[in-house]
Amino acid sequence: MARGYLATQKYNAENTGMGYTPFTIKKDGEKRQVRILQHELEWVNLHMHSAWKIVKPTRCAAPRTMEDDVEVEDRSQCPLCNAECPRSPKVCIPVRVRGDEDASRVQIIMYGRDHFAMVADAIEHLPEGKSMTDYDFEIKRVGSDTNTKYFWYRTETEQRPLNEAELKLEVPDMEEIVPILEEHVLLRRAKDYLDSEDAAPVGAAGGGGSNGSAKTPF
Ligand SMILES: [Zn+2]
């Protein structure tokens, strides 16, 4: 089952439009031990549009600029924003997975708000002066489908700063790797979303929206 690194990159690029190795835990109850490779203040935060079975995860095309130290974005320039396709922030956390046979492979944990809450909790409970890069973490998956939770445990046995080999690993630049797609693709996906809204019975837009956020994207 294990794919080589390049084959995996190629597979991901073709199937998800994303040239990186996503971190996954497939089964309920499974756990993995990871070493986080980037300080939590440096984790990249991307805005992704998606609608289950209608719009694949698509990076928001709204330009983000800094004005007086505040990030400002122009959402009028993103077709999916204009279509009010749901959007959420995704935090990208680069890790080495213990036991990964490929010693140079960096995997990316990409979490939306719900899953990130567990990580935020882990950050909050770090000992004073410590960072997420000072420990191994064990991540345990509990549940399946939409009821999945990922619990994060700090392991005290692997308490140390990043070693030389870890510092040498190439952390993918997610801003570069997750591309903003060409406009015609964005327009088509926006149309797919609008068409699905038209087709859906009132109150069932997007086939879910249990949190009622479909019309108030983040
Ligand atoms: Zn957008």
> pLDDT per residue over 43-101, tens digit each?
999 999 999 999 998 999 999 898 888 889 999 999 999 999 999 999 999 999 999 99
Which residues does 136 contact at the CB level (< 8 Å), separation at least 6? 33, 34, 35, 98, 155, 157, 158
Nearest in space to 29 (alpha carbons), one of 119, 156, 138:
138
**Is position 84 within any domain?**
yes
**Is position 185 within any domain?**
yes
pTM: 0.75
Question: What φ, ψ does residue 79 adopt, rounded to 5°?
Answer: -60, -35
Between the CA of 62 and the centroid of ligand 1 the distance, in Å, is 5
Between the CA of 13 and the centroid of ligand 1 the distance, in Å, is 21
Distance CA 138, CA 98 (A): 10
Between the CA of 9 and the centroid of ligand 1 the distance, in Å, is 25
**Domain extent at residue 37:** 23-194
Between the CA of 72 and the centroid of ligand 1 the distance, in Å, is 13
**Is position 209 within any domain?**
no
Pair 161, 53: CB distance under 8 Å: no
Number of domains observed in the structure of the chain: 1
Between the CA of 25 and the centroid of ligand 1 the distance, in Å, is 28
